[in-house]
Amino acid sequence: MELNELTVTQALDGLKKKTFSAEELVKSCFGKIKKVEEKVKAFITICEEDALKNAKKTDQLIKDDPQIFEQKPLLGMPIALKDLFSTKGIKTTAGSKVLKDYIPVYDATVVKKLKAAGAIIIGKTNLDAWGHGSSGENSDFFVTKNPWNLQKTPGGSSSGSGAAVSAGECLAATATDTCGSVRAPANFCNLVGLKPTYGRVSRFGVIAMASSLDSIGHLAHTVEDSALFLKVTAGKDPLDATTPNIKVEDYSKTLKKPSKKIIIGLPKEYFIKGIDKEMKLAIESSIKLFEKNGFIINTISLPHTQYALATYYIIQPSEVSSNLARFDGIRYGEKRDCFGEEAKRRIILGTYSLSTGYYDAYYLKAMKVRTLISEDFAKAFAKVDILLTPTSPTPAFNLGEKIKDPLKMYLSDIFSASSSLAGLPVLALPCGFTKDNLPIGMQLIAPQFNESLLFQVGHYFQQITTWHKRRPPLV
Amino acid sequence: MISKKTVQHLADLSKLELTYKELNKFQKQLAEILNYFCLLKKVTTSQVLPTSQVTGLENVLAKDEISPSLSSKEALSQTKNQHNNYFKVKAILNGT
Amino acid sequence: MAQKETATGVTMKYTKFTTIIGIEVHVELKTKSKMFCGCNNHHFQVKPNTHTCPVCLGLPGALPVPNEKAIDWCLLLGLALNCKINNLSKFNRKNYFYPDLPKGYQISQYDSPFCVHGKLEIKDKMQKPRTIRINRVHMEEDTAKLVHAKVDDEEISLIDFNRSGVPLVEIVTEAEIHSSEETIFYLKKIQQIVRYLNISNADMEKGSMRCEINLSLSIDGKLPPFKIELKNINSFRFVKKAIDYEIKRQEKILRLGKIPVQETRGFDATRNKTFSQRTKEEAHDYRYFPEPDIPLIKVSQEKISSLEKILPELPDEKARRFAKEYKLSTYNANLLTFSKKRADYFEEAVKIGKANQVFPEIIANTIVNKRISIKKYLPQEFVKLLLKKQTQKINDQKLISKVITKAMKSNPKAVADFKKGKQVCVGFLLGQVMRETKGKADPLLTQKLLLEKLKS
């Protein structure tokens, strides 16, 4: 096994035991990048020089103080950042031509935290411009491919982060999830994706898509890695007023199987006609596996599920229209004529929902339905501990398949919308493969700020399955 | 259900210039999307309060304390148009 | 494209119009830091773009966190203006494009401002007191400062973001002010109160207090279907001139049977005229929606009580107390309470004066007539000087008595009022004697003699 194919946990162990150096680890990632990046096209910016410099520094740090891992829990870990995360001195484009030459003068809070934890940034990954999309095809620069099948989408909007981790170009990557942008790539690329509770991770410095929905997450190979990562990124940030002062647990230490019997709820509205057959089978056998191992399975109802996507597609573009107003080309970036088609479409749609005469019928109505959707979950969580659903209706679809039809593309987010609107934490994880060797995933949904339960159940699943250990055939 | 004139007005409000092609395309697509939104009419919401935030937080405030600012060099580092430490734009009349 | 006035089809040659004015005042709060970030709030004559950060520059990814002190001060002003404080408030985004607005929206308040339904007593044209209802007092952020220049033969505008994000309180009246005199009285009163609270310099010239006057003439006393907004006028004097001009201008248009064009107008001080500031036909729809980046703000009863405790005695109240407690004329009481500093000085001097048999009326007169500068001397020194001056005074009893008799003869009403119990008249008559003797009569002696004569 190459070093770049290790999980974060394994790589940390290797560094601690001095089996290899940080420099070797980082070089191994760049070796892979050189081999596959031309095909995968995951990165907008690659920071090889700085990363190697940092790797050497890291090795010196480890040499000086072998205990340093206690202060720096991600020391030497080669990670990538979705290009929405502001990085001081490193170009940050949001996947849009509007910011093609924009170099931030400050680091996002999460970037600061990751740097402080010792992580090494190897590059900035491609995405649907501004996070607007489910396939990555809305990037203003180029289209990222799925390492499992280059004809397929890696999922969006965090397409580059998904492809990069999956292809072994880095060990983990940050991503954002407004309505599935972490989960779709996890699902399509055989990764573990965490969309934390809204407010659990600071949004400061992450270019905003829809402020009341944006959740700052990450992609990795295992639940264990995901837990380690969240411990670093989560917490109250004085610069983000929407981060509550709720204690960040030591998620890695609480990964053991939950002591009490966990009741898994299956919302019947998610198990409907139209779900891919192979996907349905894979999820059903995962449910059986849980049941066999002592979990209790209950079917429940989230009656407003069918309204979630419409609600989401009113609220999100409204906030988008306002959030993208700052891009006027005066202080930074290009003029507004550089916005791509999808951004323009959402700005116009959102402007419509907020304008005089339509506000009550659209925006206000959507905010009210949002209340009902949140209440559905509250009622469900009175009966069950955690929910299990498909992540999307199908495995990775073909590039080009939906890009001409925005509504069809929007509908691929259908299983992400409710939990986003309610601000709940969701863990997407691998649970099978199609006969064409495409990954299949499922998602676990927990009550607000109960990420530790997601990790416990997810980790348990990964101990009794091996789907997450498969790597794409791409050389 | 949504006219070209409305789409043009929305573009003006959001300071976007649309080509004739885009205008036509957006009109069609928006009509389709807005039609999909009609689904929400089925939900009774007369007794429901709107949710604009999900954290339940209140009174998250900062103390009145000065923290360091950017240097003017940093502030102006990303603009293409500056003059004597100011950002520069084409002349605009005072007041809107 | 300029719009044409539309015809009303009504002849209004003899109609008497009512002036209807609503006022929006903006005051910049003098907190240490800005409204939503930690940048230094000070921006007047500071090197451009040196007090900025990702938040107030509107950089991608930056988020606002509201300044607690600014909100407290907004609430305090609301209480001073007799407002009801909403127990749950929120910020809203007001969306519009302008180069001085970095985010493309201003964080402001819309349907749940901090303070509503206030009132303020002013005086009308005839000096008769009347109450103006205040619609709301809300919190928002200031925009950047635009400077217009010509560089290399090119007309340009320059932007300084030091002012961007400065806390701004907006005070909105109901449209029920009827003259330029009332407007100026109201504006000065707001300025005085804000300065009493010590929350803003409220300087019109420096822009820390700004006003927008919505003015229209009504035929029937009801709100007409058009309004003209007077904006960007930086002194009380010009505001008055602009209103007076505007009333005449609108009257002329209405008398021709037309309706004035709804627009924003500025004031050209050199030509003494208002002028249209409309640049082009721009669509306006602010698309307010709740600011998702800032949680709701709950104002508890305890919070209100604690603010009420620190609410200082306000000018009107203080003037009434001065008049009563120190037996001053309304005129003197108003002058002495013009600023809190002056009022405090006076009271301090009165306290010191008491031990030295110097009466409040004399201290009041001395301050009002600027016989001893309060800027140069501490209250202690002020009283000492006053005593010293008194020893150089005329203390010829006969001479003073003569002047007193003369003053009483020429002011029979004051004498009669005194007999009816109006103590204030002593101050008035004292003032007359002082004037006659060019301020040289020994005030203590004069007062003693005056009282004797009045009571006899």
Could you read off the pLDDT of C230-274 as tens digits, one per residue? 998 999 999 999 999 999 999 999 988 888 988 899 999 899 999
R_g (Cα) of chain C, nearest Å: 27
Q: Which residues of A touch B10 (CB under 8 A)?
A: 348, 351-352, 355
Q: Which residues of B touch C (CB under 8 A)?
A: 9, 12-13, 15, 52-53, 55, 57-72, 75-76, 83-96
On the question of a cis peptide bond just before residue A157, with omega within 30 degrees of 0, the verdict is yes
Q: Nearest Cβ partner of B65 from C38, C53, C54?
A: C38
User: Least CB-CB distance to C104: which of A85, A318, A326?
Assistant: A326
* The CA-based dihedral angle spanning residues C234, C239, C240, C241, taken in that order and rounded to the nearest 10 degrees: 90
Which residues, at least 6 apart from A415, have a Cβ–Cβ distance to it below 8 Å? A180, A270, A389, A390, A391, A392, A393, A443
How many angstroms separate the CA atoms of C437 and C258, rounded? Answer: 61
Q: Residue C10: its pLDDT value, please?
A: 57
The alpha carbon of residue A229 is apart from the nearest alpha carbon of chain C, in Å, by 21
For the cut 90, the answer to whether the pLDDT of residue C383 exceeds it is no
pTM over 0.90: yes
Mutate to test the interface with C, among A323, A362, A371 (most CBs of C within 10 A): A323
How far apart, in Å, do the first and last CA atoms of chain B sit? 32
H-assigned helices in A41-177 = 48-64, 109-116, 159-166
Q: What is the pLDDT of residue C375?
A: 86
Distance CA A315, CA A322 (A): 11
Chain C residue with the nearest C-alpha to that of B95: C277
Interface of A with B in 109-148 (CB under 8 A): none
DSSP string, B24-64: HHHHHHHHHHHHHHGGGGGS--TTPPP-S-SS--B---B-S
Query: Could you give the CA distance from residue A195 to residue A176 in angstroms, rounded to a whole number?
Result: 7
Token code pair at residue C391 = 């020893």
According to DSSP, the residues that pair with C120 across neighbouring strands are: C132
Q: Number of Cβ pairs closer than 8 Å across A and B?
A: 135
C66 close contact with A: CB closer than 8 A: yes
Coil, strand, or helix at residue C283?
coil
Q: Does C276 touch chain B (CB under 8 A)?
A: no
A99, A92 Cβ separation under 8 angstroms: yes
Which residues in chain B are closer than 8 Å to A342, comparing Cβ atoms? none
Torsion from C-alpha of A315, A316, A319, A320, nearest 10 degrees? -150
**Closest residue in chain B to residue A409, using alpha carbons only:** B33
User: Which tens digit of pLDDT belongs to each residue from B46-92?
Assistant: 999 999 999 999 999 999 999 999 999 999 999 999 999 999 999 98
The band of C279, judged by pLDDT with boundaries at 50, 70 and 90, is: low
Q: Could you tell me the sign of the dihedral formed by the alpha carbons of A320, A321, A325, A329, in that order?
A: positive
Residue A106 · residue A126 · CB < 8 Å? no
Tens of pLDDT, residue by residue over C313-362, are 999 999 999 999 998 999 999 999 999 999 999 999 999 888 877 888 88
Provide ipTM, 2 decimals: 0.96
**pLDDT-derived band of residue C7, with 50, 70 and 90 as boundaries?**
low
CB A218 within 8 A of CB A172: yes
Q: Which sequence positions of A are flagged as catalytic?
A: 82, 157, 181
* Cα A165 to Cα A173: distance, rounded to the nearest angstrom: 7
Q: What is the pLDDT of residue C390?
A: 66
Residue of B nearest to A212 (CA): B53
Residue B56 to residue B70: CA distance in whole angstroms: 33
One-letter amino acid identity for C430? L
The mean pLDDT of A129-154, rounded to a whole number, is 97
Highest mean pLDDT among A47-51, C369-373, C445-449: A47-51
CB contact under 8 A, A352 and B30: yes
Tell me how long chain C is: 456
pLDDT for C1 equals 36
pLDDT in tens, A51-85: 999 999 999 999 999 999 999 999 999 999 999 99
Angle value at C-alpha C361, between C357 and C364, nearest 5 degrees = 110
**Side-chain half-sphere exposure of A199, counting CA atoms within 13 A:** 25
pLDDT tens readout for residues A20-33:
999 999 999 999 99
Q: Say if residue C117's pLDDT is above 60.
A: yes
Nearest C-alpha in B relative to A362: B37
Task: Average the pLDDT over C445-456 and give the result.
Answer: 85
Whether the CB of A331 is below 8 Å from some CB of chain B: the reply is yes
> Got the DSSP string for C328-357?
--HHHHHHHTSSHHHHHHHHHHHHHHHHTT
CB atoms B72 and C47 under 8 Å = yes
